[in-house]
């Protein structure tokens, strides 16, 4: 609440210096407050507040919130703000809304927060209009209505309120409630940026960097990134570091690039960690230090950086700063290769050919050669490699060969031939092939429709935790396709898929919790799973969230659950 009360302090002093300052006692209270004489301020304000002066009541509420001149007591603060708010004092109405939204001194209640925001918003207070817009956008305490949210943002932005200007820029940028318009987005971002909003400054920099809605100019991009970076915005620091590293828009300066990367790296940005690791490995802008390079690579790799995983493989392969270890090198190359990095795939093919760090295996070598060629859209070469690997009994090569026949990549489309290779790969234990066969049997495509066969293949893939198979098995159990309908069993499979980040499973599981089918009715869990699905861009999740009616306490509980589950999801 520190930022909130700092805002109230500034806004409150502005209000106290306005036309409501009529009594000498009120002025004496303000003078005492400005001079840091809190007890004197409280002594001056209290009689006026008791007599019904709204400004003095607001001032007493502020003193209780800050613990200045009186013991800190948020409940008492809320009492005084309520007295002033009931008299129509807009700043007190807004402050009371914030207290209800945050549960400070009162029980959390988004509906009451919206009520008080509206009272102040209708008096033209831009900060209240903005916060009311936020509630309508999120559907908290009011019906979710982005059009109405946009109207409140416009009202606040028209008065020059930077966060509302930023929100309007965001709306035009993403095409939310308005037609996408990069120029309009930049116009609103620029207004907010001119008042020092770092996120807006960053996005104007990005617009100049990409030439979207603004002239393409590395120099302009660098100026805006610098403005945001100097305020500590990590993503601006990262982008500015890239410009310094490449000498674009600014003189090339590796030392400045390294300095700028430190903060985003500490904040967990894997790309910043990887780049700092590279700079320490090469001695660019910093003293060469293999140990620090290794530490940054490890941290970035743990966050899912493919480049860092590849570089770790190279560090161990070459023995740079560590004892040479071909087995560990192969493990890191495999992580990067499985994530689709062509360099790692090509290197892994070589390792399997030569038996370095892995058993010599021509089938695996052919598979990874095929993956390399396919990633580079060299389909005829990929086809040759997969054929070689498939002929050697490599199940993953058989699956990729089946995909190429099924989709007509580098070869005339032949879906029947594709299915035959899927069967070989599925028999070899490839979960993706097993899932693919299950889908074909469920839909009756290329093969005769058979729900029982579909379920049989889904079960094989689900045993390997293949996400799509887990979800499909849940759907089969819910709707009785190929198995007896069993909502409890459906919930079990949906939850496995949902915890792996499958948004369809998250929505389906939320539906079961809403209806109490197969699980006890639980609106909090339903809301939490829908929140995760909305974050994963499921098209129906936001609509279903808006339809749920939860208390503020339940929403907070659901949000904590969703955060906990999201942290447990595997890195994508």
Residues 6+ apart with CB under 8 A from 65: 5, 8, 72, 74, 77, 104, 105
**Among 514, 515, 519, 517, residue whose Cα is nearest residue 529:** 514
pLDDT at 236: 98
Q: How far is CA 540 from CA 287, 507, 510, 528, in A?
A: 52, 8, 12, 14
pLDDT at 539: 85
pLDDT at 142: 87
Q: Which tokens hold the place of 155?
A: 């009202």
Asked if residues 416 and 449 have their Cβ atoms less than 8 Å apart, the reply is: no
What is the pTM assigned to this prediction? 0.80
Element (H, E) at 476: helix 467-479
Asked if residues 432 and 464 have their Cβ atoms less than 8 Å apart, the reply is: no
Spatial separation of the C-alpha atoms in residues 484 and 118, rounded to whole Å? 52
Write the DSSP symbol of residue 1.
Answer: -
pLDDT at 221: 97
Residues in the chain: 572
pLDDT tens, residue order, the chain (572 aa): 333 334 344 444 444 444 344 444 888 998 999 899 999 999 999 999 999 999 999 999 999 999 999 999 999 999 999 999 999 999 999 999 999 998 999 998 989 999 999 999 999 999 999 999 999 988 788 887 889 999 999 999 999 999 999 999 999 998 888 999 999 999 999 999 999 999 999 999 999 999 999 999 999 999 999 999 999 999 999 999 999 999 999 999 999 999 999 999 999 999 999 999 999 999 999 999 999 999 999 999 999 999 999 999 999 999 988 999 999 999 999 999 999 999 999 999 999 999 999 999 999 999 999 999 999 999 999 999 999 999 999 999 999 999 999 999 999 999 999 999 999 999 999 999 999 999 999 999 999 999 999 999 999 999 999 999 999 999 999 999 999 999 999 999 999 999 999 999 999 999 999 999 999 999 999 999 999 998 888 888 878 887 887 877 788 899 899 999 988 776 55
Spatial separation of the C-alpha atoms in residues 338 and 540, rounded to whole Å? 31
State the first-to-last Cα distance of the chain, in angstroms, to the nearest integer.
34
Asked if residues 467 and 461 have their Cβ atoms less than 8 Å apart, the reply is: no
Write the DSSP symbol of residue 406.
Answer: H
Question: Within 287-408, where are the H helices?
Answer: 290-302, 306-318, 326-338, 342-354, 362-375, 379-391, 395-407
Spatial separation of the C-alpha atoms in residues 149 and 153, rounded to whole Å? 6
Q: Which tokens hold the place of 201?
A: 């400054």
Write the DSSP symbol of residue 126.
Answer: H
User: DSSP of 88-122, one letter per residue?
Assistant: T-HHHHHHHHHHHHHTSSS---HHHHHHHHHHHHT
Q: Which tokens hold the place of 137?
A: 């956008």
């Amino acid at each position: 609440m520190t930022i909130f009360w700092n805002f109230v302090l500034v806004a409150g002093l502005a209000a106290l210096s306005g036309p409501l300052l009529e009594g000498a006692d009120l002025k004496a209270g303000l003078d005492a407050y400005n001079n840091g004489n809190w007890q004197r301020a409280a002594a001056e304000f209290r009689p006026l507040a008791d007599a019904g002066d709204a400004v003095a009541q607001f001032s007493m509420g502020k003193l209780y919130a800050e613990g200045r001149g009186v013991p800190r007591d948020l409940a008492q603060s809320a009492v005084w703000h309520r007295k002033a708010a009931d008299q129509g004092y807009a700043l007190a109405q807004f402050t009371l809304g914030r207290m209800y939204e945050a549960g400070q001194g009162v029980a959390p209640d988004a509906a009451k927060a919206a009520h008080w925001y509206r009272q102040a918003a209708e008096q033209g207070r831009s900060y209240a209009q903005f916060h009311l817009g936020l509630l309508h956008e999120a559907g908290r305490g009011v019906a979710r209505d982005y059009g109405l949210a946009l109207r409140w943002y416009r009202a606040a932005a028209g008065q020059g309120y930077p966060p509302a200007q930023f929100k309007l820029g965001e709306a035009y940028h993403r095409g939310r409630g308005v037609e996408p318009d990069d120029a309009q987005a930049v116009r609103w971002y620029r207004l907010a940026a001119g008042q020092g909003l770092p996120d807006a400054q960053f996005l104007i920099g990005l617009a100049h960097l990409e030439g979207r809605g603004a002239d393409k100019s590395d120099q302009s991009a660098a100026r805006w990134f610098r403005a945001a970076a100097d305020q500590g915005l990590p993503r601006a620091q990262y982008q500015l570091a890239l410009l310094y590293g490449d000498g674009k828009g600014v003189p090339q300066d590796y030392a400045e690039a390294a300095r700028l990367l430190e903060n985003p790296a500490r904040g967990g940005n894997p790309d910043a960690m990887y780049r700092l690791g590279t700079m320490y490995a090469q001695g660019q802008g910093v003293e060469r230090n293999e140990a620090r390079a290794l530490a940054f690579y490890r941290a970035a790799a743990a966050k899912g950086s493919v480049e860092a995983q590849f570089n770790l493989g190279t560090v161990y392969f070459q023995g740079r700063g560590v004892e040479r270890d071909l087995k560990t090198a192969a493990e890191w190359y495999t992580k990067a290769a499985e994530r689709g990095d062509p360099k790692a795939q090509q290197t892994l093919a070589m390792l399997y050919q030569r038996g370095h760090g892995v058993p010599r295996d021509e089938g695996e070598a052919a598979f990874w050669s095929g993956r390399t060629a396919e990633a580079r859209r060299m389909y005829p070469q990929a086809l040759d490699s997969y054929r070689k690997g498939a002929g050697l009994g490599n199940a993953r090569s058989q699956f990729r060969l089946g995909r190429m026949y099924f989709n007509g990549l580098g070869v005339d489309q032949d879906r029947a031939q594709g299915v035959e290779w899927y069967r070989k790969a599925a028999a070899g234990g490839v979960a993706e092939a097993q899932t693919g066969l299950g889908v074909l049997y469920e839909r009756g495509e290329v093969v005769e429709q058979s729900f029982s066969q579909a379920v049989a293949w889904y079960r094989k893939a689900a045993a390997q935790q293949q996400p799509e198979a887990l979800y499909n098995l849940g759907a089969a159990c819910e709707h009785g396709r190929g198995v007896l309908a069993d909502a409890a069993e459906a919930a079990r499979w949906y939850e496995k898929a949902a915890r792996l980040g499958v948004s369809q499973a998250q929505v389906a599981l939320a539906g079961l919790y809403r209806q109490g089918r197969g699980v006890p009715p639980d609106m909090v869990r339903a809301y939490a799973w829908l929140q995760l699905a909305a974050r994963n861009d499921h098209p129906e999740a936001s609509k279903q969230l808006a339809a749920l009616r939860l208390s503020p306490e339940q929403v907070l509980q659901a949000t904590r659950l969703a955060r906990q589950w999201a942290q447990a999801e595997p890195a994508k």
